[in-house]
Amino acid sequence: MRIFVYLLPLLALLLIRFSFLIPFRGLKQAPAPYANFQLVETWAPTFCSQPHIPCIQHFPRTFTLHGLWPADANGNTLLRCSTSRRDKDIQTEIRALRSQLRQVWPNIRTDITEDIFWQHEWNEHGICSLTRMTKMNYFQAAIRETRRINLLTILQNARIVPGSHIAYTKNQFENAVRNSIGTDIYVSCARLNNTHVLLKELFICLDDTATRYINCPASTSPRGCPRARGPNIILPS
């Protein structure tokens, strides 16, 4: 019994010294870093057709950048990765990029300012890229990659043109972009009626440096598009 009493302090010391080797179940691991980016381009006529969205009077009849979204290896968009590093005012930090952002990442709503729009996209999505790039790197990448691709021209070259009386298949949009940049994309839609939908957005996937096109990970999500294969997607003018 005496020997056990004498050994207790030694056992306690050993336990303290090597306790870092014992996993603590109460701690949560930090979220895994993003695997790729999604350059999400919105078809402005569809966006502005929503009754609850007040748009500027002369909005562009083309694609506008919604955002550059970090995503995981399964194609799931990452959101709000750090509440402690959210920005309340990014005007100063993006001042040097403002004129470029207005050209490639315009705010077409009248109920928010452009700064609120860019700040929202950073806090919701961009902040998830801080594991590998700075805020300035992120906005520069968004500008560079948006300028690099002209989706409307790509669609027109594939004989997909805006118009309310013509419908296309989802495969036609996918093939048009694939034939141009060589990779698979995502297509999202907005409901029009019981038989047709409007093209909402096209998702172009990039590697984790946002410099190289990659195939978007295989996904079973319809993203609002009908599963039927017939021509049922309209590109409104």
Structure-block tokens of residue 116: 């609120």
The one catalytic residue among 125, 145, 165, 201: 125
121 is catalytic: yes
Where residue 37 falls (left for φ over 0; alpha for ψ -120 to 50; beta otherwise) is: beta
Q: Please, how many CA atoms are within 13 Å of residue 154, restricted to the half-sphere of its CB?
A: 18
CA 2 to each of CA 7, 11, 76, 181, 237: distance values in angstroms, whole numbers, following the listed order = 9, 14, 61, 78, 90
Closest CA to 151 of 178, 125, 124: 178
The one catalytic residue among 41, 121, 145, 201: 121
224 with 237: CB under 8 angstroms?
no
Q: What are phi and psi of 183, to 5 degrees?
A: -135, 160
DSSP 128: G
The one catalytic residue among 41, 66, 145, 201: 66
| Whole-angstrom distance, CA of residue 159 vs CA of residue 162 | 10
125 is catalytic: yes
In angstroms, how far is CA 173 from the centroid of its own chain?
Answer: 19
Positions annotated as catalytic residues are 66, 121, 125
